[in-house]
Structure formats: structure tokens, C-alpha cells
Structure 1
Amino acid sequence: MPPLAPPDPATLDDLTGAERAALATLREADEWGSGYSAQQSTRSQTVGYGLVDSPAALCAWIVEKFWSWTDSGGDLHRVITWDELLDNLMLYWLPGTGASSARLYWESLRQVNEWISGPAGAPVTVPTGCSVFPKELQRPSRRWAERRFPNIRYWNEPGKGGHFAAFEQPALFVDEVRSFFRLVR
């Protein structure tokens, strides 16, 4: 999946170290970590049957993403407790929404990818705040983000956090949201 703010082709000959690292992370994720996305966007119902029929399958499918996408240094329970993981899993298991959550990719991924990286992507001009967490897979630079989001009012790159930053670092996440909204209220 392309980043929300793809690289500006004009900058590819003049990348910063952070931009090179961000592109390397995306390449690695595309090569080794995008199987779930391909499965859910092409055969979501197949995986969906397992997610609603087997608690072990649901647990493996979801917890692997938490393990891979958190800023945990390989020790997931350093940032998310067993109870928090189980609470999250139960939000899918009890109402039986594993299949519909997978189907979201089938229903929308192509359109989202076109919106993100296609030439017709109109700028988003509302006041925008960006918190780019260090272990998020998609970490655009500010100059890349400003092409799509020209009205960035808040930009920060916190020192910790991953894809599930609100879950991993709730106090830090709240501080980030508050910092942005203080500027636009």
C-alpha cells in the first residue's frame, strides 16, 4: 500500500536520511509484510471464515500485526498488556466481525490506493495535524506530506510509538491530538 503522502518525484535525487529510511521500511513491508493486505483485498471471505470460526485463527491473525507494528522492541507486552490484547480480540470475536473487518480491504483498498497515489488526488486543504510515529510503516517527510496536505498546522515526530500509537502510548497520543487542536480552535 502506498503511503498517504507519497514521495515527491522531484525529491528522489535529494532524499534525506529519514526519507531513505522511510522508503526502505516501505519496501521491506511490501516484500515481507503485505500478505495480509493482499489476502484481505482479493479473497477476504476466505480468511473471514477462519476469523469468525476459530478463536485461534483470529488471535494469530490480529496479534501478529500487533507484534509486527508496535514500537515494542520485540516484547509486545512492554507496550500492550494481555488484558488489552484480549479486550481487542473480543471486539472482533463476540460480535463475529472478523470477516467484515477483512472485507473492508476488498471493498475499499483499490479505491484508497488510487486516491493516495493517483494523479487525480486533490489536495486536502483543511487544517491538518501530523504525528509521525517512529515505528509506523508509512512515515512521510513533511515536504512529501505538504504536497497533498498544504495546510499542515501541526507536525511532530514523537520518539516512540508505532501503528497502534493510541493503544501503545495513550498519554502521548492524547498530547499529540491536544497539541494540534490547541492551534486550530
Structure 2
Amino acid sequence: MPQRPSEPSSRPNRGEAREALIAAGRRLFAERGYKATTTREIATEAGVSHALLRYHFSSKEGLRDAVDENVLGGFERAFASARDEGLESGTLAEAGRAAALMFGADEERRRYIRRVLVDGDERAAALLGRLVEGARREVDRLLAGPGAPPAEDRRWAPYQVLFLILGPLLLEPALEAVMGGDPFAPETLAERSAANQRLLRRGLFGPR
């Protein structure tokens, strides 16, 4: 039976403690919510002393900020991975694959984002705002040049892209029951990502 992180033989050293605390915070915040989770519970889950948590993050809010940075930092890593796969930079295929990697490969990241957005506090608005800004940057990059849509469409474009991505994430438990399988299984995710790219390029009722 695997040992819990809090057992002595699996305690991280001081250099590893920060990452262990971020991972434990992300996991417990996703399971219980931010308000219901204490810093002592996070330290125990991470297998480190409570003093080390205070040393690295000062407070629970500081740890939450670090968790958010860790989760949202996945965007840059995802785009790097998409380019490593040979996808051309600045294309819709690259953006679609990066989104699939960002939200599809890590169940814990999906659970954390879902919990924050469903809790609906000021943190939800801040996190969603950052996601919108990230989507806006990518949309502006992809729509640069002649033939760009009018301003009223560009205003909504980042939200529409996020709706396509976050919809399955927020509905994941029910979607799994309706589909009869994991909606984030690699083959399902690839199929949905390709369909989303076609939808964004042509529109739902546009010419085929």
C-alpha cells in the first residue's frame, strides 16, 4: 500500500517543500474548497512542517496565489509542447492542441479550476479574468492581419473560445455519464479539439 506524503520516509527535503506544498494545496483546495482547507492540513498532506509553509508562503492566501500561478503557468508549457510536436506557431491547430494539453492531461488541474469557478468568490472572477486575457492574446495573435472580424465579434471571441474549453471541464462528471466514457480520454479530447477548430474556422452553420 503506498505511503501517504506525511509519513517520515517520504518527507520532502527543504528544497522540495515548496513544490510539495503547492501540489498539496492544489489537491486539497480542489477537494474541499479554499475556505474549508487549513494550512495545517496542507502541511500534513505535503509531509512538511507548518513552519515551512509559513516560511515559503506567509499565509494561506500566499499559497493560493502560488497554486494559481502553477495552474495558469501550464499555458506556456502547453504551447511549448504543441510546438515540440511540430505544430506551426501562430496557428489554430497549435492553440487547440495547447488547450487540450493544458486542460486534458491533468485531471487535478481540471478539478482545481472547476472548484474555483463553481465556488464563485472573488478568486473565481480573478482566475477567469486571467483565462480571458490569455485567450484574448491568443485570439489577437491568430486574427492578426487582413480579413479580421469586426470589433463586436472580436470582443466576444476570447469568451467563445473559453466556453468551448471550459464547458466540458465544468460539466465533466455529468458529461462522463452521458457519454458513457471519459470525456478527457486522449482520443476523445483530440476529436473534440479538431471539431472545435473546424467550428471556429467555419462557424456551425457556415459552408462546408
Q: Is TM (by shorter chain) over 0.5? A: no
Q: Structure with the greater relative contact order (CA < 8 A, sep ≥ 6): 1 or 2?
A: 1
Higher percent of residues as helix: 2
Normalising by structure 1, what TM-score? Answer: 0.32
Which one has the largest radius of gyration?
Answer: 2
Higher percent of residues as strand: 1
